[in-house]
Amino acid sequence: MTQSQIDPTPKPATTGATLLEVDDLHVEFRQRSGVVNAVNGVSYTLAEGETLAILGESGSGKSVSAQAIMGILDVPPAVVRGSIRFEGRDMLTMSEEDQRQIRGPGISMIFQDALSSLNPVYSVGWQIGEMFRVHQGASRKEAKAKAIELMDRVRIPAAAKRVNDYPHQFSGGMRQRVMIAMAIALDPRILIADEPTTALDVTVQAQVMDLLKDLQRETGMGLILITHDLGVVNEVADSVAVMYAGRIVERGTVDDVFTDAGHPYTEGLMNSVPQVEAKGGRLQPIVGQPPNLAAIPSGCPFHPRCARRRLGAEAAPGRDCATDLPPLRLVAPGREAACHYSEEVLGV
Amino acid sequence: MSEPSAPTGATAASAPVTSPAGASARGPLGETLLEIRGLQKHFPLTQGILFKRTVGHVRAVDGVNMTLRRGETVGLVGESGCGKSTVSKLLVALEKPTGGSILYKGKDVAKMSGRALKQYRREVQIIFQDPYSSLNPRMTVGDIVAEGWSVHADIAPRKDRLKRTQELLDRVGLNPDYVNRYPHQFSGGQRQRIGIARALALQPEIIVCDEPVSALDVSVQAQVVNLLEDLQDDFGLSYLFIAHDLSVVRHISDRVAVMYLGSIVEEGTDEQVYTTPSHPYTQALLSSVPLHEPHLRGQKDRILLQGDVPSPADPPSGCRFRTRCWKAQDICATEAPELVDRGQGHPSACHFAEARAVVPVDVE
A235 touches chain B (CB under 8 A): yes
Q: What value of ipTM does the predicted structure carry?
A: 0.80
Cα torsion through B201, B252, B126, B218, rounded to 10? 90
Q: Is residue B321 part of a domain?
A: yes
What confidence score (pLDDT) does residue A104 get?
Answer: 83
The C-alpha atoms of residue A156 and residue A167 are separated, in whole angstroms, by 13
* B359:A231 CB<8 A: no
Beta strands in B197-299 (DSSP E): 206-210, 238-243, 255-260, 263-269
Distance CA B183, CA B167 (A): 18
Over residues B328-342, the mean pLDDT reads 89
Looking at the fold, whether A193 and A181 belong to one and the same domain comes out as no
> Are A84 and A198 found together in one domain?
yes
The answer, for A158 touching chain B at a CB cutoff of 8 Å, is no
Q: Are residues B315 and B234 in the same domain?
A: no
Q: Is residue A131 located within the same domain as residue A231?
A: no
| A286/B222 CB distance under 8 A | yes
Statement to judge: residues A29 and A175 lie in one domain? no
pLDDT digits (tens, 9 = 90+) for A21-36: 999 999 998 888 888 8
Domain count along chain A: 2
* CB-CB under 8 Å, A171 with B187: no
Rounded mean pLDDT of B101-127?
A: 91
Looking at A185, A215, A241, the residue that finishes a domain is: A185
Q: With CB atoms and an 8 Å threshold, state whether B217 touches A2.
A: no
**pLDDT of B165-218, one tens digit each?**
999 999 998 888 899 999 988 888 889 999 999 999 999 999 999 989 888 888
Check CB contact under 8 Å for B80 and A285: no
| B42 and B124 part of one domain | yes
Residue B11 has pLDDT above 60, yes or no: no
Query: Does B237 share its domain with B331?
Result: no
Which chain B residue has the Cα nearest residue A208?
B304
Are the beta carbons of A1 and B306 separated by less than 8 Å?
Answer: yes
Q: For an interface test with B, which of A57, A58, A155, A276 has the most B Cβ atoms less than 10 Å from its Cβ?
A: A276
B79 contacts in A (CB within 8 Å)? Answer: 201-204
The predicted pLDDT at position B97 comes to: 92
Question: What pLDDT band is residue B26 in, cutting at 50, 70 and 90?
Answer: low
B239 and B284 within one domain: no
Query: A33 and A160: one domain?
Result: no
Cβ of residue A288 closer than 8 Å to a chain B Cβ: yes
Residues 6+ apart with CB under 8 A from B67: B32, B34, B35, B36, B74
pLDDT bin (cut points 50, 70, 90) of residue B14 is very low
> A290: cis peptide before it, omega within 30°?
no
Q: Of A145, A167, A185, which residue sits at a domain end?
A: A185
List the single residue in B with minimal CA-CA distance to A280: B251
How sure is the predictor about B17, in pLDDT bands with cuts at 50, 70 and 90?
very low
Domain containing B283 equals 276-348
A12 near B CB under 8 A:
no
Range of the domain at A202: 17-106+189-290
Task: Determine the Cα–Cα distance for residues A204 and B90; give it in Å rounded to an integer.
Answer: 28
B357 touches chain A (CB under 8 A): no
Closest to A124 in 3D by CA, of A185, A67, A34, A82: A185
Domain assignment present for A44: yes
A55, A195 contact by CB (below 8 A) = no
Measured between alpha carbons, how far is B11 from B174 in angstroms, rounded to an integer?
Answer: 9
Are A234 and B270 an interchain contact pair (Cβ–Cβ within 8 Å)? no
pLDDT of residue A316: 81
Q: Chain B partners of A268 at a C-beta cutoff of 8 Å?
A: 219
Is 70 exceeded by the pLDDT of residue B267?
yes
Confidence of residue B260 (pLDDT cuts 50, 70, 90): very high
pLDDT digits (tens, 9 = 90+) for A282-341: 888 888 888 888 888 898 999 999 988 888 888 888 888 888 899 999 988 889 999 998
Cβ separation of A290 and B285 shorter than 8 Å?
no
Same domain? A118 vs A265:
no
Cα–Cα distance measured from residue A346 to residue A330, given in angstroms and rounded to the nearest whole number: 12
Share of chain B above pLDDT 70, in %: 92
B297 and B157 within one domain: no
SS3 content of chain B, % helix, strand, coil (to 5): 35, 20, 40
Q: Are A1 and B305 a contacting pair at CB < 8 A?
A: yes
Both B164 and B62 in one domain: the answer is: yes
CB within 8 Å of B324: residues ≥ 6 apart? A1, B281, B305, B306, B307
**Residue A346 maps to a domain:** no
With an 8 Å Cβ cutoff, is A8 touching chain B?
yes
> Hey, which bits of chain A come out as E strands?
2-4, 18-31, 34-47, 51-55, 78-86, 89-90, 107-110, 190-194, 222-227, 239-244, 247-253, 329-332, 335-337
**Is the pLDDT reported for residue B53 higher than 90?**
no
Helix (H, G, I), strand (E, B) or coil at A270: helix
Residue A263 in contact with partner chain B when CB distance is under 8 A: no
Based on the fold, state whether residues B145 and B290 are members of the same structural domain: no
| pTM of the predicted protein model | 0.84
Chain B within 8 Å of A169 (Cβ-Cβ)? no
End-of-domain residue from the set B253, B287, B310: B253
CATH of the domain at A248: 3.40.50.300
Which residues from chain A sit within 8 angstroms of residue B288, using beta carbons? Answer: 202-203, 205-206
Q: Scanning every residue of chain A, which has its alpha carbon at the shortest distance from the alpha carbon of B360?
A: A277
The nearest alpha carbon in chain A to B269 belongs to A279
> Do A276 and B359 make contact, defined as CB atoms within 8 angstroms?
yes
Say yes or no to pLDDT of B290 above 90.
no
Spans of chain A, pLDDT less than 70: 1-15, 348
A202 has a chain B CB within 8 A of its CB? yes
Domain count, chain B: 2
Residues of B in contact with A6 (CB under 8 A): 298, 302
Q: Is A72 on the interface with B (CB under 8 A)?
A: no
Q: Which of A201, A225, A229, A243 is most worth mutating to test chain B (most B CB atoms within 10 A of its CB)?
A: A201
Chain A residue whose CA is closest to B1: A292
Assess whether B323 and B193 both reside in one domain: no
Find residues 275-314 of chain B whose CB sits inside 8 Å of chain A.
Answer: 284-299, 301-309
Among A3, A201, A278, beta carbon nearest to B244:
A201
**Same domain? B245 vs B300:** no
Residue-level pLDDT at B251? 93
Shared-domain flag, residues B339 and B240:
no
